[in-house]
Amino acid sequence: MLVRRVAWRLAGRVTDRGLPAAAARAYYREVAASLARALDRLAGVRAVYAWGTFATGDERPGHSDVDLVAVIDDVPPADEVRLLQAIRARYARRQAVLPIDLTVLSAGELAPDAPLHELIRLRVADERPGLALGQWRLLAGEELRPGGAARPPAHLRYISDGRLQAAIAALAMGRESEARALLARFAENGQALPGDPAHALHAALALVDEHRARHAVPVERRPLEASGWRVAAPAPAALHAARALARDLKTPGLRSLTVYQPPFAAHPSLLLEGADVDAARPALRWAADGGAARAARAGLRVEVLTSRLAEDAWRSRALRWVGLTAAAEHLEGDPLAPRIGLPAGGLERDVARYGAVTAVACARWAAVGRRGFTRDDTAPLRVAALRAIAAGAPPATRRDELLARVAPGVDAAAWTRLVLELWRG
């Protein structure tokens, strides 16, 4: 603990009056280089790259993370699990004294998946998310990047409403500080969101809606034909609870009220749709002032969306469009399900692959012990369902079918191996 405290002070974390900037940057680079050398000595690690501000030399000691990518051999899942465990041991020691975010990709994944990792880092204010593969900086190992590396496709460059809905869920559980931290990620150029939770939710929704308008993709076909989809519907008890909430819901201007079962969620969602950002304001106030908490006590999670975002559900990595089309119950207003559509060219399959890449990344982050990431027992479900949709198969997201291979007591190594097996197919 003393070593960690001293290291943070040297890096400028405790105050901005630590060592001169040059000395603090030298500390960052020495710890990062130490990890790169340690990983490079492992059999199976091919290269270690820096990306983000650390790659460009624009890091701010005490404020910036050090973003590294370890590229490993394409090996069978069981062998990769052992390699991830070896990486974890070396990473833990350096992560204890410096905020290092380590990502692991296989050599075969580098070219196709690095652009998607740029999107995982997307910031609201950035037109160019992340840092292009060609701008990564090699720290150790061999150069593996192909010439003329691809950039993320335009239809995937959008801000998700996921943190907004997570903030509503945090408020429902009385965790206001967590909600504020989630909403703070929406602040543009360091400008703080309003202090009132409902106003902050509204400001965040406005940012997401405006960003989606700038990155609009026309829908080709609607309504969707869901016959043959294997999707679980909300339980009868959830429908009963949702109808009871709907009777007491005093929010003017709602376009629709829908209860549906998100494919990867433990609880069904009550979706409140406003025609636009202003029309959604009363719903956000209701959620922040106790409505979301009452719904949570009834086993429901509240979501608030504009019509633009609700109808653009195909862009959700959580497959919102699947749940709304095939596993929803309309309660009030203009039915939403018939307005859900898909774009030309099967672009929803790209979103599904993006979701699968994200799920595998999270599983690897948990495996190597990256701070903030723990085992998610739905990861095998996500990877299996998303990978199948990316390949053009009809949606199949039933937890009882896809999670049959995950025993409650399976250990971390077996869980990681299962995720990788499903990813590799």
The residue extents of the domains of the chain are: 2-152, 162-340, 346-424
pTM over 0.85: yes
Strands 254-260 and 269-274: antiparallel
Widest Cα–Cα separation across the chain: 65
Banded model confidence at residue 268, pLDDT cuts 50, 70, 90: very high
Rounded to whole angstroms, the Cα distance separating 269 from 398 reads 16
**pLDDT reading at 244 higher than 90:** yes
Burial of 76 (0-12, 13-18, 19+ CB in 10 A): exposed
Banded model confidence at residue 350, pLDDT cuts 50, 70, 90: very high
Banded model confidence at residue 7, pLDDT cuts 50, 70, 90: low
Residue type, 285: R
Hey, what are 2's tokens? 């003393």
Task: Answer with the residue of higher pLDDT: 195 or 172.
Answer: 172
Task: Answer with the residue of higher pLDDT: 268 or 52.
Answer: 268
Query: How does DSSP assign 283-296, residue by residue?
Result: HHHHIIIIIHHHHH
Positive or negative, the CA dihedral 373, 164, 58, 132 is: positive
What pLDDT, on a 0 to 100 scale, did the predictor assign at position 85? 98
CATH 1.10.3470 corresponds to the domain 2-152: no
Rounded to whole angstroms, the Cα distance separating 298 from 241 reads 6
What pLDDT, on a 0 to 100 scale, did the predictor assign at position 23? 82
What pLDDT, on a 0 to 100 scale, did the predictor assign at position 158? 84
Residue with tokens 């990473």: 91
Banded model confidence at residue 15, pLDDT cuts 50, 70, 90: very low
**pLDDT reading at 273 higher than 80:** yes
Least confident interval from 183-192, 226-235, 386-395, 416-425: 183-192
Banded model confidence at residue 86, pLDDT cuts 50, 70, 90: very high
Mean predicted confidence (pLDDT) in 255-261: 97
What pLDDT, on a 0 to 100 scale, did the predictor assign at position 13? 45
Q: What is the mean pLDDT of the chain?
A: 88
Task: Answer with the residue of higher pLDDT: 127 or 232.
Answer: 232
